[in-house]
Amino acid sequence: MRTVRALSPLLRRAGGRDARITTALACTAFAVVTALALSVVGGLLAFQGRAAEPVANGEPVFGYLYVSLAWTALALLVVPLVTLGGAAARLGVSRRDARLSALRLLGVTPREVVGLTLVETAWQGLVGAVAGCLLYVLLIPFWTLFVFQDRPFTPGELWVGPLVLLAALVVVPLLAAGSGAVSLRQVVVSPLGVSRRVRAPGLRAVRVLVAGVLVLGFIVVSVAMRSFGAVAIGVLLGSFGTAFLALNAIGPWVLRLFGRRRLRTARTPEQLLAARRLLDDPKAAWRVVGGLGLAGFVAGALAVVPALAAAQAERDATAEIIGRDLTTGGLLTLTLTFVVAAVSAGITQAASVLDRRREYALQHLAGLPTELLDRVRRREVLGPLLLVSVGSAALAIVMLSPLFGFLALTSMTGPVLLVGCLALGCGLVLAATEASRPLLRSVLAETVVRAD
Amino acid sequence: MTTTPLAGPDRLTARGLVKRFGETVALAGVDVSLAPGESLSVMGPSGSGKSTLLHCLAGILQPDAGDVVLQPADGSPLDLGSLGERRRSLVRRQHLGFVFQFGQLLSELTALENVALPSMLLGASRDDAELTASGWLGRLGLDGMGDRRPGELSGGQAQRVAVARALVTRPAVVFADEPTGALDQATGYEVMRLLTETTRAAGASLVVVTHDADVAAWCERRITVRDGLVVDEARRADGTAGAATVPAGAVPGVAADGLDGWAGAR
C-alpha cells in the first residue's frame, strides 16, 4: 500500500497529451453520469413529495402511480449510466497500460498495479462527480420547464439535498474504481507489456431460451390479466423489467450471430474489419448499443400511449393528464437514455482507438487509408445499432399486443413518434462516435510509433 | 556523396535528402540508391537519423530538401517528394511493403486475413486475396496457422506473418525497421533468413534499418548513418546476400565487430 500511496500522485501528473485527452473524456463521462443520475433522483423525490402532500385533484389517487413510474425511469437509466461509468473507467485504464507494465518491470507487484489504477480511476470519478454536481445544479432550471400533473416542477421540488450530493461524491468514485477493476481483468499487465486477453469466452444458446421463457411468460400473464383493464399500467411496468432481462440475455448472443453472418458475407476490407471487431467481443458491442435497445423498447411501448391516452381522454380529464404525462415522462426517459448511450458509444470508440493506436499507426504507415478506418467505425456501430433499436421496438409492440392489440398502429402519432425517436437516437449515437475522429487523426499522424 | 549503382536503372534513388525537426537536423544531405532486387542495410546508433531516412525513402515523411524517386517494376518513375499525402499513401499500398519491429498486425483479424488485407485494399476479391495469402503463409512455414489471431502467435510467427503481409502485393521495395528488435537471437536469425530469401525470390529490393551488425550482415550492401550523414558504406565481399558470411554455429553467433565479410568500408 505504501507503494500505491507514493506512486499515485506521480502517475496522476505523468503522461502526455493522450493522457490528458483520456482523463478529460473520462471525467466528462463521470460528470454526465452524476448530473443525469442526480436529475432523475431529483424527479423521483419531486413525485414523492407531491404524493405525500397532494394539492390538486386526482393527485392523492395517482400520486403513487407517478412515484412508481419515476422508479421505473430510474431503473431504466441505471444500466446505461453504469455502463457509461464502466466505459469511462476502461478508457482511463487503456492509456495507463504502458506505464503500468513499466512499473511491473521495476518490481511493482500485480496487486499494487491494480491498486494504483483504482486510485487513479477513483480520482477521475471524484473530479467527474464534483463537476456533475455543478452540472446538476445548472440543469435544474431546465427541468422546471417540464409540466407533470398539470403543473411545472419547482426548483425546490427537484433539489436532492446535501446528503444525496455527498452520497454521489462517494458512490461515483467507488463505481469508477469498481469498473476499473473489472476492466483490468481483461488485460494482462506483465513486465514486458500489456496484452489484451484474446477471444472473449463464447456465448451459450441458453440465453435465447431464458429470453424466450421471459417473453412468453409475460405474454401469458398479460393475456390472463386482460380482463382487468386497471392493471394495464402495472403490466406495462412489469413489461419493462421483463424486456430488460430478456434483451440483456439475448442481446450479445444475437449480436454474435449477426457478426458471424456479416463475417461470412464480408467482401470488402471494411466489412471484414467491422464484422471481426463485432465478433471479437459481442458483449462489449452490446454494452454500447444495449442502452439503446432498452430505449427502443421504451419507444415501442410508448407508441401505444397516444392511442391509449386518446381513448381514455374521452372519459375523464385525469386520464387525459396521466396520458399526457406518460408521453412526456417516456420521451424524457428515452432522450436521456439516448444521450447516455451516445456518450457511452463515443467514449468506447475513443478507448478503442487508443487501444489499437500502434496497430493503426503502423497500418497507416504501410498505406492503409484513413477513410477505411472511418468507414469501419461507422459500419461497426450502425449495424448493431439498427438491429438493436428496431428489434427491441418490434419486441415491445409484439409483447404488448395481447394487452392493447396493435393499438399502437391505429393512431399515426405513436408510430411517427417511434420512428422519429429511433432515427434521432441512432443519429445521436453515430454523431458521438464521430467525435473520436480527431483522436484517430492524431494517432495516425504519428510517424514515430512508440513501443507501447 | 553517391553510391555505386548496379547495372540498370535504380529501383529507388534519393538525392540530397535533408530533414529537420525544429532545431534538430535529422538528415543533413543523404544520397542513397537501390538497384532492383538489391538488399541494403542502414546502420547507426539511436538518434543517428536512420529511421528518418527510412521514412523519407518510403514516402512516409516528406524531406525538407532533396528528391526521392521510386521506379516501380512497371510504369513510369514516381517522384515521392512531389506527391501529396493521399498519393504517397497509395504508392505505399501499391508498390512498397513494410515489416516493423512488432505490433503491425491487426489484432482482430486472423493471420490469414491480415495477409489478405493489402490485396483486398488494392481491389482483389476476398476469396482471391485469401487464396494468395494462404500461399504466402505456406511459403513462410506457417501452414495451418491461418486461423490464429496475432495474440495467439509467438513473436517469430507474428514477424513471419508480417513478412508475408509485406510481400503479398509483390512490392518493388520492402522496408524493414528493426525487424528482429523484439525477438531472441535464434528467432531473429530465422526471420532474417526468411525475409531476405523470400524478398529476393519475389524480385523485390530490401531496405533494413537496424543497429545490429548481425542483422545487417544479411544484406548485400550496408551504409552507416551518423548525425544525419552517411559516414560509411560497404558491399559484401562475396557480393551475395544471406548468411554465407555469418560464422558457423547455426544459431547466429556472428562476427564480433560486425565487419567480417564486408569490403570497401570508407
**How many CA atoms within 13 Å lie on the side-chain side of A449?**
24
pLDDT at A199: 47
Helix count and strand count (H, E) for chain A: 16, 4
Q: Is the Cβ–Cβ distance between A309 and A324 less than 8 Å?
A: yes
Q: How far is A95 from chain B (nearest CA, A)?
A: 16
Dump strand ranges (E) for chain B. 12-21, 24-34, 39-43, 65-70, 78-79, 96-99, 173-177, 205-210, 221-226, 229-236, 262-263
Query: Is residue A193 left, alpha or beta, with left meaning phi > 0 and alpha meaning psi from -120 to 50?
Result: left
B116: pLDDT strictly greater than 90: yes
Distance from CA of A291 to the nearest CA of B (A): 25
Least confident segment among A158-162, A425-429, B63-67: A425-429
Residue B39 has pLDDT above 80, yes or no: yes
Give the residue numbers in B contacting A (CB under 8 Å), as ranges.
51, 55, 58, 60-61, 89-94, 96-98, 100-109, 113, 117-118, 120-121, 125-126, 149, 151-152, 166
Helix (H, G, I), strand (E, B) or coil at A435: coil
Here the cell at position A336 is: 436521456
Q: What is the pLDDT of residue A129?
A: 95
Poorest-pLDDT segment among A349-353, B142-146, B235-239:
B235-239
A447 with B55: Cβ contact below 8 A: yes
The pair phi, psi for residue B219, each rounded to 5°, is -100, 155
Q: Are A338 and A425 in contact (CB under 8 A)?
A: yes
Q: Do B60 and A447 touch (CB under 8 A)?
A: yes
pLDDT digits (tens, 9 = 90+) for A219-230: 666 666 554 444
Beta strands B65-70 and B12-21, pairing class: antiparallel
Query: Residue A367: left if φ>0, alpha if ψ -120 to 50, beta else—which one?
Result: left
Q: Please give the share of chain B, as a percent, with pLDDT higher than 90.
A: 56
Q: Which DSSP symbol is given to A231?
A: G
What are the structural domains of chain B?
12-263 (3.40.50.300)
Give yes or no for a contact between B101 and A451, defined as CB atoms under 8 angstroms apart. Answer: yes
Distances (CA, A) of A59 to A50, A66, A149: 8, 9, 7
Compare B136 and A182 and report the one with higher pLDDT: B136
Say whether pLDDT at A378 is over 80.
Answer: yes
- Residue A110's pLDDT is what? 73
Contact A195 B151 (CB under 8 A): yes
Q: Give mean pLDDT, residues B216-221.
A: 92
**ipTM of predicted assembly, 2 dp:** 0.81
Rounded Cα distance between B68 and B56, Å, is 8
Which residues of chain B neighbour A362 with C-beta distances below 8 Å?
Answer: 98, 100, 103-104
Say whether pLDDT at A183 is over 80.
Answer: no
Question: B109–A367: do the CB atoms touch at under 8 Å?
Answer: no
